[in-house]
Structure 1
Amino acid sequence: MTINTLLVDFACASILILIGMFLRSKITLFQRSFIPASLLAGFLGLLLGPEFLNVLPFSGEIGSYAGVITIFVFAAIGINGFKFSRRNMKQDLNRMGAYAVYKVLIITLQLSVPIAFSILVISRIVPEINYGFGLLIASGFYGGHGTAAAVGDTFENLGWENATDLAMTAATAGILVGIFGGLIFIKWATKKGYTHYVKDFSEISSDFRTGLINKDKRVSMGTETVSPVAIDPLVFHVALLVVPAGLGYLLNSYISETWGLEFPTFTVAFIIALLMYLLLGRGEKGVYKYVDSKVVDRLGSAATDYLVFFGVASIQLPVVAQYWLPLTLLVLSGIVVVVGALVLIGPGMTYESWFERSIFVYGYSTGVFAVGLTLLRIVDPKNKSKTLTDTAIVGPLNTPIELFAWSAGPFMLLLGQHWTFVGIFTIASVACFVVARMFKWWYWKIPLDQRPPVPLDDDEK
């Protein structure tokens, strides 16, 4: 990839995003579905890109952009700081604790239920299917295309020739389930009154429907905190985000090469950005008084639009016709897990802003972070539910689970230890429920339409 191909890729993306905005502002169907312009643009990119019509000059690197942009998004969250209000500290800790258990439970269920279903049911219907087949759902749905490729390659090294194609197909199915299923559930939740930051289409303003704000309702994107004579204010804020994003990548690469540990790069960048926030200081003598959080938010939001576009436009749709039956059954088992996690476990383990936080986890656990982010932006455009902030903080808890599953899973499943593998994650799933009940992170008795939003911080009121 050269700087010129990068320029062309983002130029094509920008053209399609503008077209997506035009379609959103004019077509009622898209407005009623709350579909963001970036998502519409992503589908246009998929249609016009190399996977279908191939009329746009995209490079072969568009599939790698989403992961990099995600780092930038979380750097924006970190640089704006993280704080507990003393009044709500206990509430904050309970919220994050319950959310952490919920996220762990999602992956342990995907690593137990579909695999057990594959062993007990699918392998009897299609005897040539091996016991590793069920792992394709977790690697594709929760892990996404990158993890699916890695797990498929491990399986192929163990002698399963078609594993990578099947894993990539499962990952693609997960993305489609996340996008279209998520939109269906958002429509359901708005009608039921479960959403706090976006209401039913018939009750919202034309500004929100079309995405075009009338002159009398427009607000400033931010203020100049440094003099353009010294440095452009936008460059100042961009630099504050690029530094932790780049350092996060370098530090994570060093950790991986030195100790063989794999952490989410966006979490490392978030921690570095948070440290910068603490070092900059918020007092009168601190540098942070020159940081405009509204500008930072806008930069993070702008990156998110491009993240959504590239995440969708780079979808690959491998067709593995000879495995359509077992693959369909496996995907259905995965759908049962993620839907059950959304409509049953989500409200059970989430009290405040339960739907906003649960729909993000639903999207996040069906293959691409961009899908979860897209769904969250529809129902919580300003991250008032603190879902992204909490995700960055509790994200590392899933890393040991993923490392074990993706590295040891193929060996255990193909070499006769399949029930041991299933048993480990079944016990972990049960443990999540026990922890939730022990700490009283179980809220099923409270009606869904009576759940409050996440409390605002004092400076957000």
Structure 2
Amino acid sequence: MTLYTLLVDFTLASILILISMFMRSKIKLLQKNFIPASLMAGFLGLALGPGFLNILPFSVDIGSYAGVIIIFVFASVGINGFSFTPGNMKKDLKRMGAYASYKILIIGVLIFIPITFSILVISKWVPEINYGFGLILATGFYGGHGTAAAVGSTFENLGFAAATDLGMTSATIGILAGIFGGLIFIKMATKKGYTQYVKDFSEISEDMRTGLVKPDNRVSIGTETISPIALDPLAFHVALLLIPSGLGYLLNTYIADTWGLDFPTFTIAFIVALLMYAFMGKGKKGVYKYVDENVVNRLGSSATDYLVFFGVASIKLPVVLEYALPLGLLMLSGVIIVILMLWAVGPLMNYESWFERSIFVYGYATGVFAIGLTLLRVVDPNNKSKTLTDTAIVGPLNTPIELFAWSAGPAMLLGGQHWSFIGIYAAISIVCVVISIKLKWWYWKIPLGDRPDASALDRDG
């Protein structure tokens, strides 16, 4: 990749995003279904790019952009700081604890239930399917294309030659289920009154429907905190976000090379941004008074639009029809699991802004982080539910659980230790439920329509 291929890729993305914005402003069907312009542009990129018609000259690197842009997005969240609400620290810890338990539970059930189903049911109908086949679901749905490729390579070295193609197919189906299923569920939730920040379409203003704000309703996206004579204010804020983004990557690379630990780079960047926030200080003598939070939010939001575009436009579709019967059964089990986790378990383990947090995890658990972020953006465009902040903080708790599955899983499943592997993740799932009940992170008695939003608890104190 050269700088010019990067320029061309982002130019094409920008053209499609602007075309999609125009379509969104004119087509009522798109408005009615809350379709973001970036998501629609992603589908146009998928159709016109190398994955299908191959009309637009995208480079082979477009699949890698989303993973980098995510780092920038989380740096924008961290640089605005994180602090427990005065007088509400207990509520904040409770919210994050319940959310962490929910995220860990979903990876547990996505591993042990499909593998068990594959061994006891699918392998009886299709005898050539081995005991590692069930892990294909989690690698694609939860891990995405990157994890599917990595685990598929490990499987291939152990004799499961079709694992990579099956994993990529799983990731593709997961993403499609995440996008289309997520939008359907969001529409259902708005009708039932479960969404906190986006209500039923009939109640939404014309500005929000079309996406075009009338002159009388426009507000400033920021103020000049730095004199342009010294440094452009926008350049100042971009620098504040690029520093933790780059340092997060370098630090994570050092950790991986030195200790062999593999953390999500966006989490490291978020931590670096938080440290910068603490170092700058928010008092009268601190540097942070020159940071405009609105500008930071808009930069992060802008990056999110491109993240969504490249995440969707780089989907690979060629191998969807391979292993049609067993893969179809496996995918069906996965879809059922994530739907139940959204509608049945989500409200049990999330109190405030339960749907916003649950729909993000639904999207995250059906392919890639970008899909979860896309769905969250539809229902919570300004992160009032604190989902992104909490994800960055509790994210590392999932890392060892995922690493063990992706590294040890193939060998255990193909080496006769399949029930031991299943038992480990069944136990993790049970522990999550028990802890939630014992610590009263289990909200089954509270009606869904009576749940508050996270920002309301801050205001109420």
Equivalences for 1:285-296 in 2 at 5 Å?
Answer: 285-296=285-296
In the alignment of these two chains, the number of paired residues is 461
8 A contact 2:178–2:362 mirrored in 1: yes
- In structure 1, stretches of 5+ residues that fail to align are none
Identify the residue that residue 183 of structure 1 maps to in structure 2.
183
Identify the residue that residue 388 of structure 2 maps to in structure 1.
388
8 A contact 2:168–2:319 mirrored in 1: no
- Structure 2: how far apart are the matches of 1:283 and 1:320? 56
Q: CA deviation at 1:456?
A: 4.5
Identify the residue that residue 452 of structure 1 maps to in structure 2.
452
8 A contact 2:173–2:320 mirrored in 1: no
Identify the residue that residue 54 of structure 1 maps to in structure 2.
54
Task: Give the letter aligned to residue 446 of structure 2.
Answer: I
Equivalences for 1:163-182 in 2 at 5 Å?
Answer: 163-182=163-182
Identify the residue that residue 81 of structure 2 maps to in structure 1.
81
8 A contact 2:166–2:322 mirrored in 1: no
8 A contact 1:165–1:318 mirrored in 2: no
Identify the residue that residue 100 of structure 1 maps to in structure 2.
100
- Structure 1: how far apart are the matches of 2:70 and 2:103? 19
Asked if 1:418 is matched to 2:418, the reply is yes
Identify the residue that residue 244 of structure 2 maps to in structure 1.
244
- Structure 1: how far apart are the matches of 2:322 and 2:121? 18
Equivalences for 1:10-409 in 2 at 5 Å?
Answer: 10-319=10-319, 321-409=321-409
Task: Give the letter aligned to residue 188 of structure 1.
Answer: M
Task: Give the letter aligned to residue 330 of structure 1.
Answer: L
| TM norm structure 1 | 0.99
**CA displacement, residues 413-435 of structure 1 (integer Å, 9 cap, x when unaligned):** 00000010001100111110000
Determine helix, strand or coil for the equivalent of 2:230. Answer: coil
Q: CA deviation at 1:457?
A: 7.7
**CA displacement, residues 6-57 of structure 1 (integer Å, 9 cap, x when unaligned):** 0000000000000110111111111111010000000000000001111111
- Structure 2: how far apart are the matches of 1:246 and 1:135? 33
- Structure 2: how far apart are the matches of 1:74 and 1:25? 29
Change (3 A) 1:460 1:52: farther
Determine helix, strand or coil for the equivalent of 2:303. Answer: helix
**CA displacement, residues 89-128 of structure 1 (integer Å, 9 cap, x when unaligned):** 1111110000000000010011100000000000001000
- Structure 2: how far apart are the matches of 1:80 and 1:27? 36
Task: Give the letter aligned to residue 129 of structure 1.
Answer: I
| TM norm structure 2 | 0.99
- Structure 2: how far apart are the matches of 1:387 and 1:130? 38
8 A contact 1:339–1:362 mirrored in 2: yes
Determine helix, strand or coil for the equivalent of 2:323. Answer: helix
- Structure 2: how far apart are the matches of 1:9 and 1:44? 14
**Percent identical residues:** 73
Q: CA deviation at 1:259?
A: 1.1
Q: CA deviation at 1:206?
A: 0.6
**CA displacement, residues 292-313 of structure 1 (integer Å, 9 cap, x when unaligned):** 0000000000000000000000
Identify the residue that residue 443 of structure 1 maps to in structure 2.
443
Determine helix, strand or coil for the equivalent of 2:225. Answer: coil
- Structure 1: how far apart are the matches of 2:421 and 2:33? 41
8 A contact 1:168–1:318 mirrored in 2: no
8 A contact 1:182–1:363 mirrored in 2: yes
- Structure 1: how far apart are the matches of 2:42 and 2:285? 45
Determine helix, strand or coil for the equivalent of 1:86. Answer: coil
8 A contact 2:13–2:41 mirrored in 1: yes
Task: Give the letter aligned to residue 332 of structure 2.
Answer: L
Q: CA deviation at 1:87?
A: 2.0
- Structure 1: how far apart are the matches of 2:413 and 2:381? 42
8 A contact 1:384–1:456 mirrored in 2: no
- Structure 1: how far apart are the matches of 2:173 and 2:289? 46
- Structure 2: how far apart are the matches of 1:199 and 1:163? 43
8 A contact 1:13–1:309 mirrored in 2: yes
- Structure 1: how far apart are the matches of 2:349 and 2:98? 6
**CA displacement, residues 42-74 of structure 1 (integer Å, 9 cap, x when unaligned):** 000000000111111110000000000000000
Determine helix, strand or coil for the equivalent of 2:226. Answer: coil
Identify the residue that residue 433 of structure 1 maps to in structure 2.
433
Change (3 A) 1:281 1:50: same
- Structure 2: how far apart are the matches of 1:215 and 1:382? 22
- Structure 2: how far apart are the matches of 1:424 and 1:85? 37
8 A contact 1:226–1:290 mirrored in 2: yes
Task: Give the letter aligned to residue 455 of structure 1.
Answer: S
- Structure 1: how far apart are the matches of 2:37 and 2:456? 28
Determine helix, strand or coil for the equivalent of 1:112. Answer: helix
8 A contact 1:357–1:387 mirrored in 2: yes
- Structure 1: how far apart are the matches of 2:317 and 2:257? 32
8 A contact 1:50–1:56 mirrored in 2: yes
**CA displacement, residues 318-367 of structure 1 (integer Å, 9 cap, x when unaligned):** 32545100000000011111111100110000110000000000001111
- Structure 2: how far apart are the matches of 1:321 and 1:348? 36
Q: CA deviation at 1:455?
A: 3.0
Could you tell which deviates more after superposition, 117-126 or 450-459?
Answer: 450-459
Q: CA deviation at 1:162?
A: 0.8
